[in-house]
Amino acid sequence: MKFFVDTADTQEIADLAETGLLDGVTTNPSLIAKSGRDFMEVTREICGIVDGPVSAEVVALDHAGMMREAEILRKIADNVCIKVPLTVDGLKTCKKLTSDGTMVNVTLCFSANQALLAAKAGATFISPFVGRHDDNGFDGMALINDIRLIYDNYAFATEILVASVRHPIHVLESAKIGADVATMPPSVIRSLFKHVLTDKGIEGFLADWAKTGQSI
C-alpha cells in the first residue's frame, strides 16, 4: 500500500520523504490556508520534494471554472494530480482531464455508488473519507470494502485512496482490505513506527550494552 501524507507543511513532508517511505502528498484548501503561505508557491515546493503524485485541489464548482484552474495547476509540475469534488461538474472535469493524460483525484466520496461513478469517469484516485464517515454513524471501513469489491468486479484501474485517516487502525484495516493508498496526517504516519515493546526492547539493549563498558 502506498503512503501519502496529508499536509501542506513542507518541512514535515521533507522529513518524512527522507525515510524513503513516502509515495505522494495530498493537500486541500484548508491545509493550504493553515500553512499561511501562497497556494502556488507551496504546491510548487511540495512537487520538488516528492516524486510521486501531489494532489492540488480546484476551488471552482462549475466545469468551466474547474478546467481553467486545472490548466494553471497542471503546469506547476509533471507530478501534480488535480483534485476535484465528487459532483456532476467534478466528474465531467475528471473525464476531460484524464482523457488528456492528467492525473485526477476525486475527493469527498462517501458512498460506493459515488466511487463507481468516479471510476467510470476515469479517475486516477478515489478518496473515500473514512474518518468523517465514522463520525456520522457509518462504517468507514465497510465503505472501503464495498469499493474494493466493486472495482475488482470490473477491473477498474482507479486506485482507492483512503482519506480522513484518524489512527493506525484505519491504516491496518485499509491494508487488509487491499486499498491502494492511505493518506495520513504526519502524526499518524509517525505513530506507525511506535510500539511500547519496541521502546522497551531498545531500553533493555542499551542498559545491557552500557554494562559492558564498550563502544563501537
Positions marked catalytic: 83
Cβ neighbours, 10 Å, residue 159: 18
Which helix (H) or strand (E) segment is 4 a member of? strand 2-6
CA pair distance 171, 88, nearest whole angstrom: 30
Place of cell 482507479: 158
CA pair distance 66, 62, nearest whole angstrom: 6
CA pair distance 35, 13, nearest whole angstrom: 13
Residues 6+ apart with CB under 8 A from 133: 110, 139, 140, 143, 164
Residues 6+ apart with CB under 8 A from 27: 6, 7, 8, 42, 43, 46, 54, 55, 56, 57, 83
The CA distances from residue 49 to 12, 54, 113, 155, 184, in Å, are: 11, 10, 35, 32, 17
Indicate the SS3 state at residue 160.
strand
